[in-house]
Each structure stands twice: as structure tokens, then as C-alpha cells.
Structure 1
Amino acid sequence: MSDSSELKGRDAPLNHTVVHDETVHSAAEHGHVATDSLGRSLLTFDKAAESRLRLKIDLYIIPTVAILYLFCFIDRANIGNARLAGFEKDLKLVGYDYNTVLSVFYISYIVFEIPSNMACKLIGPGWFIPAISLGFGVMTVAFAFVRTFSAACGVRFLLGLFEAGMLPGIAYYMSRWYRRSELAFRLAMYIVMAPLAGAFGGLLASAILKLDHFGSTKRWEMIFAIEGIVTICLSVIAFFTLTDRPETARWLTAEEKDLAIARVKSERVGQTEVLDKLNTSKTLRGIFSPVTLATSFIFLLDNITVQGLAFFAPTIVRTIYPKSSVVSQQLHTVPPYIVGAFFVVLFNFLSWRMDKRNIFFIMNAPLMMTGYIMFLASTNPNVRYGATFLIASGAFAFGALCNAQVSANVVSDTARSSAIGTNVMLGNIGGLISTWSFLPTDAPNFHIGNGLNLATSSVILILSICLGIWMTADNRRRDKKNIEAELEGLSEKQIEGLDWKHPAFRWRA
């Protein structure tokens, strides 16, 4: 850092006399805390130096994970596009068979969610994320060759197994690099790929379906074959481009590595290291944090809408524009996703600047509610199509906001890993419910599906308001505690294990 030090002591005099590099290195070392007993950072940071480092991390980390997640979501949701192209007819699916194929994916996805994130921590994201990307790329190609209902269920089960670690794994990975306030916007930079996948997936499917064949595959088979091969190629590249953690980043200088570690550590009350070892007590702290459980249930409710749109948007568009060609129907699914993607970035950018998340839960729910009221109140195609824009605008932002919320409200790395895993696990229970929210017997107006989603978005609003009130009240209760007295007699290890139960910890709304 030379003369323009990137870090200054907490108690530095008004002329900001710089602290030597040893102070920075000490804060980054294992065995040293970066906060005092009251949870305040022992260091202050040069904003310009932090800004330069943050931009460098953004440019090296975000593009790779964003592209991988784009094709993760495409590989999951392209079955909706394949349905329009004859998949259901060719496999002779009848009644609820299509819903069952969708549901099987979520069984493995939910079961392996938390174990996958624990494996991600144990193995290291730099290897784990590319490996599971390779796995679901292979499964996507395999789906091009299924010919029976049973085979389709089997491949979708394996697809869910590999994709289970993707969303929580990337969220956990990015929490190693960013401050609490920064995380939501950075998560948005890859989670925005979900609505973009809905848009791009529709465009890509339309383009693919114009081909006569791809090798031995035809029609809907080509969608899976081509998109799966692209995912495989991207995952192989990711083995060489993903960096596990700041200490192993070849593109950071020694001073930048120390700064990257110290600034994350400065927000973790009573922790002596950023990357702790797996610990059962801390794992349970992450899972059973009140904010984790409440936020995860909000994400569950939201995912009923998000995943429902992914799987059934083409079907909904077909009921609105029944006389349009298949390609035209595919293209009509694109604009709502583009608008949804814009609001994902906007809301999470504002969240970063305000260091707030819960307020956006409260703001977004009415957008979803209004959209479903429009669906229920009108059969006019233009009104219903307009409703999909409102729903996408409110629903898609929750992915980044909820993961950032649970990450901000635990302390240790282990708790953060299990908290994010829990959030995504419960979220995908919502995804499982979504596969049964739009039933063929409910077509063409889907009163049951739209009514269910109106109910879930209404509960999101109520629960978000209650969560904000509870966090404020509990913080006031914590303010009255004598921190030194509460910590008296506890060892350093015991203090670390307190996590969000540390008396100096405060909930972050």
C-alpha cells in the first residue's frame, strides 16, 4: 500500500496518520479479531482504495458466475419452451404427467440444497461450482434423448441434484468477497440472469427451432442438446477462471488480499477468521436464525410465482394468443422478463446504497398482488399480458434480496453457508408447489393458480412488515444489555460460537 495506506486505525487522530502495513496484515491473519467487544470495527478503510478493489473483484468474479447461472436457469426452464415444440405430445404425456416431470426435479433439488452448500464450503467454490455446472450440462444433453415418461423423470431428478448447489453456492461464494451492504447488488448481477434466461431462453428456443436438425436431434430435442453443450463448454472454462477465495487470487496483490480479507472480517462480530472450519453449532445457528427462517419462508412464497412463470409463461401466453405461431408465442414470453430483469438490478442497486433489504420486500409484494388481481378480474388478452410485466417486476428481485438478507444476519462463514442453503432450500419448496399451481383442468383462465399466487404475495407483504417490526424491537432489547457482563467468563471459542446470539450483534433490515 506504500504511502497512501488503504487502511487506517479506528482511533487514528484527526489528521488520519496512516497505520503501517503490519496493521492490515494483522487484521487479515487467523487468530486476530477485527472488531472490539461491542462489535465495532477496529479499523476504518480508505473509501477510494476499497472502491478500486471492489471494482477489480466485480470484473473478475461476476461475469463467470453470471454466465454459469444464466445457463443453469435456461437448462432448468427450457422444458417450458420444449412443451410448445411438441415434447409433451412426443412422450405421450397426459393429465398431470407434465407437472410430475417438473416436480421430480424439485425433490432432489430440495433434498440436496443444504448438503450441497456444505460441500461447496468443504471442497471450495472454485472447484465445486464448475463441477456441478458440468454435471447439469451433461444432464441437459441427456434429456434430448429421453423417450419415455420414466426416463424424463429420472433425468430431471439428476438435473435437480446437480443444480441444487448452484444458486446457494454462488451466493455463499460471493459472501467471501463482499461487505454486507454490497452483497445484494452483486447477487443481483447473477440472479438477474434468471429473468434474462426466461427472455434469452425464448429467443434461443425460437432460433433453434428454425433448424431442420442438430445431429440426430430434431425439434424440441435440439433445444436440450444445443443448450446442454454450451453449458458443458462454459463449465470447463470456469475451472480455470474461478478463484476460490481472496488468499488464492493470483490477480490480487498481497496488499489487496489483506484489504479484501480485513474489510469482510471487520463486519463479523467476535470472529478470528473469515473462513472458519465446518462446525455443527454454527451450522445450526445459520439454519435456525429467526431472520433466516422468516426470510426463507418469504422466498418460498415468492418462488411459487417465479418458478411458475418460468415453467408456465409459454403456456399462459398460448392462452392469451392462441392463434399465433409457436415462434411468435415463444417471442411473446421475452418482454416481461426483460422488464423483470431491469427491476432486479434497480431494486438491488438501491438496496446496496441504502443497506436495506426488508423495505424492498414490502414494496415489491403489491406489484405482484396487482398483477394477479388483473389476471383474476379480466379475460382481456392485453390486460393479462400487461399483468405479467407487473408480476415479473415485483417477483424476480427477491432472489438476491432474500439471500443477501440471510447473509447479513449471521456472523460466521459456516452459519452463512447454512443460512443461504436453508433460504434456497425453502425457496425451492415453493418451486415444487409452483409445478402444481397451473393445472390443465384449470385452463385457460387458471383461477386456482392465479388465486394461489395472489394469496402468497399478500402473505409476503404481511410477513415482511412483521419481520421488520420484530427486528427493530429485538435490537432495542439488545441495546439494553450489558455486553461486557454477558461475555464475562466466556472463552474466545465460546464467543465465536455465539454468532447472532452475541450481545453486540444487531439485526440488519
Structure 2
Amino acid sequence: MEKPLSTPEMEKGSLDLVENSTEPVVIAGRTLRTLADIDPDAEKRLRRKLDRRILPIIILIYLLTFVDRANIGNARIAGLERDLHLKGLDYNILLTSFYVAYVVAELPCQMLTKWIGPGKTLPIFSFMFALFTLVMAFVHTKGAAIAVRFMLGVAEGAVFPGIAFYLSRFYRKDELGFRLACYIVCAPGAGAVGGLLASGILKIDHIGWLRSWRLIFLIEGIISMVVAIVSWFLISDRPSVCKWLTPEERELAEFRLVAENVGQHEAVDRMHSKAVWSGIFNVNTMVVSLIFLFDNCVVQGVGFFLPTIIKSIYPGETVIQQQLRTVPTYVVGCASTLASGYFAWKTKRRGLYMLLSAPFMIIGFVLYIISLRPQIRYAAAFMVAIGAFNFGALATAWSAANVSSDTARSSAIGTTVFFGNCGGLISTWTTLPKDAPRYLPGNTFNLIASCLMFILAGGLIVWQKRENKAKAAGRDDHYLEGRTEAEIADLEQKHPLFRYAH
């Protein structure tokens, strides 16, 4: 087979995937073969339409998943431990039950989403997690609470990776990171909303026999159920079945996804094992997943324990005042997440903003370790929020950007989120009651994790640049020899025209 021609992008070791040359498609009188042939104005109009129709419902769903997950921290300081007679490590066991289910269910649920389609699975699982949130208001024993949190974990295990995969069917790789940031920002946003909601709900004396922390689960569960039902009518599996897109927009939306993935000839392929394993077991997915694991140790720990840390800093304030103290930290985290996602989109760099984020976390945990002064520890909470929340969008986008097929993308995203939530499971045991108020073991662990995140991100960037140069020099050209079209589509990172994006 003739050696592929070199392009300027290949010679300079481009950070982005080389454009795929597909069968010509005529859209609105314009013949398209590569991404360069697309009318920029038409693409901009399409992107804005996708943003208006897709992002609001996705943002709302994810906001509520995180509120319904993290409200356990608000309920804790409102009397949950006292009423359920939790002692010692019982609260940590309660948190662990959620993450055991979350981690176990995540990859199978992601494969189910690929098989059935996110248009069906996302509303169904959203309704399930809303239902189990509501049920939490009625538990009276530790065992019942653990069982309900376990089922909540199963339902939520499908949502985060499912949403990321869903968005990857509509947005190009460089666009994806910012759109992920638009809903992942709901992680710190949910902390702010959750704190405000909890403080407002706690002003209600009772609804029937339900009081105090039970009202948090009841009201937030009902809100989530309503949103899940509405989402059934708003979420479509892929562009080609979106009734709110014109025929030309549907064709353009699918064409641009195919054109940026070398070796691919369809936007949504049929699920097959070779592509699944290719998405999971590659260097990029493994390293990014490990980074996300360490980051989630921090992020989930913030969600579960920040109210408790604030209480230790300001023990003389009322519960409502302590809840409100958590809000500014999350607001800063929201702003940082959106800013890093936006600049990563515009500069086409994901790893760079990971490198810039990690030092904020390092500084924050150093401050936690060296001082017990309330002002310094409160400042530390802001430093951690500025750095930690950025990684959710950046890590998921980095995994999605370095595979080609729809199947490989679903498994790469699922793996990254799976590792991330293993970090969430770890976080439930890094901050223990006996370590209050300094929480030295947990803060030391998170400091080491932040340093490792910085090292891993930098190392992966260096490795990808070297791989791109080797591929540009023709190292992988032989992989095309004697292969069928289907076999070439399964090459993924081995395809000679593939370029790692960092």
C-alpha cells in the first residue's frame, strides 16, 4: 500500500487529530470532504443551536446528581448522625456504601448506555437517583440508610459518564472540554446550591412528621424527579434523530464528527469488543484516569467534609451560618472550572490547564497542614477549590480526544470516570473523626495526590509529543498494509494519521 502523504500538521507533530478524508457529502450546495471544507458560519450557527438545546437540561440533571449526592454532608450537621445513632466510623461507612455501588455499576452502565442509547438511559437513571434521594427522608436505621445510599450509587453511576458520552456525540473534541465544564461546574455549583437549599429548607419547621435533615432529602428528591421526567422528552440519542435540527444541520453535525476521526466512516459505530478494549487499555486513558482518581479524592472529600471542616473553623456559629460559609468556596470553584474549560477550548490545550491547576491544590493543603488559624484554613479551602474542580472537565475531555470511534470513546470516558469515583471511595476514609480538627492524614494524602497529578500531567504531555513526532516520521505507516476498511477503523491510536491531542 502506498505510504500516506505527509501534511504540515504531521510534520510539526500537531497536538490535534489530523483531519479524516471522508466520502464527499453535499450540504446546502457545498461539497465537504474534510473539516476545512465546512462553512465556519454554518458550523457556528449549529454549535450555538446545540448549546441552547442540549446544555440547559444536561446542566440541570448533573447539578441535581451532585446535590443529591453531597447533601449527606449538609444533613450530617443538621442532625442525621444523632437521629440515626451513627457513631465512630458509621458516617464513613455510609459514604462508602454509595461509592462501592457507584464504582461497581459505572462501566456496565456506560456499556448499557452505548448499547441502548443515552436518550433513554439518562432520563431513566436520573429518575432512579431522584427516587432514592426522596426515600432517604424516610430511613430510621443505619442499615436502611446504607441500603438506600447503595442504590443511589447504582443509579448515579450511569449519569456522569453517560452525559459526557452523550455530549461527545454532538461536539467536536476541542469543543467538548468547555461543554463538559459547563455541566461539571455543577460539582462546585451544587455545593453552593446545596448549602443555600439546605439553609432554606431547614427554616421550614416540618412537613407532616418529617423535620430537619429529612426535609432536605424529601424536597431535593421531588425536584430531581420532576426534572428527570421532563428530560425524557428533551434528550435525543444522536444528531441524526434530533427533530429540532434541520436536515442540513443533522448532516453537518454527523459529518464533522466523522471527519475529525481518522479511519472512521460513521459517527456512531456498532458496539464491539475490540474498540471497547482499545478505549480502556491505552496509555492516555490509563494516565488520565489515574490523575482523575487523585483529583476525586480531593473533590468528593470537599463535598462530604467541607461543612464539617467549616464547623470546626467556626464552632460558635449557627448551623445555617455554617452552611452559608460553604457557599463562597464553591462559587470560586465554579468560576475557575468555567475559565479553565473555556481557555482549554480556545487554545486546544487540556494538559496545560491541569499543570496550572495543581499548584493551587498543593498550596491549599500545605496551608491546611501548617495552621489551625480559622482565616488561613478558610483561605486554604478557596485555594483547593480553584484547582481541584477544574480536572473533571479537563480529564474527561483529554480521554475523549484521544480515541477515534464512538465505542472506544464510550469506554475511555467510562474508564476515566470509573477511576475518578474510585478516588471518591478513597476520600470517604481519608478524613476521619479521630483526626479532627487538623485532619493531618487526609490533608497529607491530598497534598501528595496533588503533587502526583502535576507530575503525571506533565509526563503525559511529554510522552504525547514524542509519539506525535514518531508517527509523523512514518513509524506506524506499516499498520495500513493489507488491512480492510473495518480493520483500519479499529486501529485507533495505531493509525499513522492519528495524532495525540493534549
Q: Distance in 2 between matches of 1:361 and 1:156?
A: 32
Structure 1 position 85, deviation (Å): 0.4
Question: Which residue of the other structure, out of 165, 189, 192, is the alignment partner of 1:199?
Answer: 192
Question: Which residue of the other structure, out of 279, 288, 300, is the alignment partner of 1:295?
Answer: 288
Question: Which residue of the other structure, out of 27, 30, 51, is the alignment partner of 1:21?
Answer: 27
Alignment of 1:370-385 (within 5 A): 370-385=363-378
Contact 1:10 1:43 in 2 (8 A): no
2:86 is the counterpart of 1:93 = yes
Question: Which residue of the other structure, out of 37, 41, 65, is the alignment partner of 1:72?
Answer: 65
2:394 is the counterpart of 1:401 = yes
2:448 is the counterpart of 1:455 = yes
Contact 1:24 1:259 in 2 (8 A): no
Can you list the C-alpha shifts for 1:286-310, whole angstroms capped at 9, x where unaligned? 0011100000000000000000000
2:317 is the counterpart of 1:324 = yes
SS at match of 1:240: coil
Q: Distance in 2 between matches of 1:92 and 1:459?
A: 38
Q: Distance in 2 between matches of 1:438 and 1:284?
A: 35
Can you list the C-alpha shifts for 1:424-477, whole angstroms capped at 9, x where unaligned? 000001000100111001001111111111110011111111111111111111
Contact 1:307 1:434 in 2 (8 A): yes
Contact 2:20 2:262 in 1 (8 A): no
Structure 1 position 21, deviation (Å): 3.3
Q: Distance in 2 between matches of 1:370 and 1:483?
A: 42
SS at match of 1:112: helix
Q: Distance in 1 between matches of 2:29 and 2:468?
A: 32
Structure 1 position 316, deviation (Å): 0.3
Question: Which residue of the other structure, out of 467, 486, 490, is the alignment partner of 1:474?
Answer: 467
Question: Which residue of the other structure, out of 134, 137, 142, is the alignment partner of 1:149?
Answer: 142
Question: Which residue of the other structure, out of 272, 278, 286, is the alignment partner of 1:279?
Answer: 272
Q: Which residue of 2 aligns with 1:14?
A: none
Q: Which residue of 1 aligns with 2:496?
A: 503
Question: Which residue of the other structure, out of 376, 379, 383, is the alignment partner of 1:386?
Answer: 379
Q: Which residue of 2 aligns with 1:310?
A: 303
Q: Distance in 2 between matches of 1:19 and 1:299?
A: 39
| TM-score, normalising length: structure 2 | 0.94
Contact 2:239 2:250 in 1 (8 A): yes
Q: Distance in 2 between matches of 1:43 and 1:380?
A: 57
The AA in structure 2 aligned to 1:406 is S
| TM-score, normalising length: structure 1 | 0.92
Q: Which residue of 1 aligns with 2:217?
A: 224
Structure 1 position 390, deviation (Å): 0.7
Structure 1 position 488, deviation (Å): 1.8
Contact 2:310 2:325 in 1 (8 A): yes
Question: Which residue of the other structure, out of 130, 137, 147, is the alignment partner of 1:137?
Answer: 130
Q: Distance in 1 between matches of 2:314 and 2:256?
A: 53
Q: Distance in 1 between matches of 2:183 and 2:44?
A: 20
Q: Distance in 1 between matches of 2:20 and 2:210?
A: 64
Contact 2:268 2:406 in 1 (8 A): yes
Alpha-carbon spacing, 1:392–1:357, altered in 2? closer, same or farther (3 Å)? same
The AA in structure 2 aligned to 1:464 is A
Structure 1 position 408, deviation (Å): 0.1
Q: Distance in 2 between matches of 1:327 and 1:359?
A: 39
Number of aligned residue pairs: 482
Aligned-pair RMSD on alpha carbons? 1.7
2:44 is the counterpart of 1:51 = yes
Contact 1:295 1:405 in 2 (8 A): yes
Q: Distance in 1 between matches of 2:195 and 2:451?
A: 30
Percent identity of the aligned residues? 47
Contact 1:114 1:418 in 2 (8 A): yes
Alpha-carbon spacing, 1:375–1:482, altered in 2? closer, same or farther (3 Å)? closer
Structure 1 position 501, deviation (Å): 1.7
Q: Which residue of 1 aligns with 2:404?
A: 411
2:244 is the counterpart of 1:238 = no
Q: Distance in 1 between matches of 2:208 and 2:231?
A: 26
Structure 1 runs not aligned, ≥5 long: 1-8, 12-17, 28-33, 35-40
Question: Which residue of the other structure, out of 471, 487, 495, is the alignment partner of 1:494?
Answer: 487
Contact 2:127 2:228 in 1 (8 A): yes
Contact 2:20 2:258 in 1 (8 A): no
Structure 1 position 482, deviation (Å): 6.0
Q: Distance in 1 between matches of 2:30 and 2:111?
A: 30
Q: Distance in 2 between matches of 1:209 and 1:319?
A: 20
Q: Which residue of 2 aligns with 1:256?
A: 249
Q: Which residue of 2 aligns with 1:167?
A: 160
SS at match of 2:233: helix
The AA in structure 2 aligned to 1:316 is I
Alpha-carbon spacing, 1:326–1:22, altered in 2? closer, same or farther (3 Å)? closer
2:337 is the counterpart of 1:344 = yes
Structure 2 runs not aligned, ≥5 long: 1-18
Alpha-carbon spacing, 1:399–1:24, altered in 2? closer, same or farther (3 Å)? farther
Q: Distance in 2 between matches of 1:368 and 1:482?
A: 39
SS at match of 2:99: helix
Structure 1 position 214, deviation (Å): 2.0
The AA in structure 1 aligned to 2:37 is T
The AA in structure 2 aligned to 1:346 is A
The AA in structure 2 aligned to 1:21 is I
Q: Distance in 1 between matches of 2:266 and 2:316?
A: 61
Can you list the C-alpha shifts for 1:148-183, whole angstroms capped at 9, x where unaligned? 111111111100000001110000000000011100
Q: Distance in 1 between matches of 2:482 and 2:117?
A: 35
Q: Which residue of 2 aligns with 1:38?
A: none
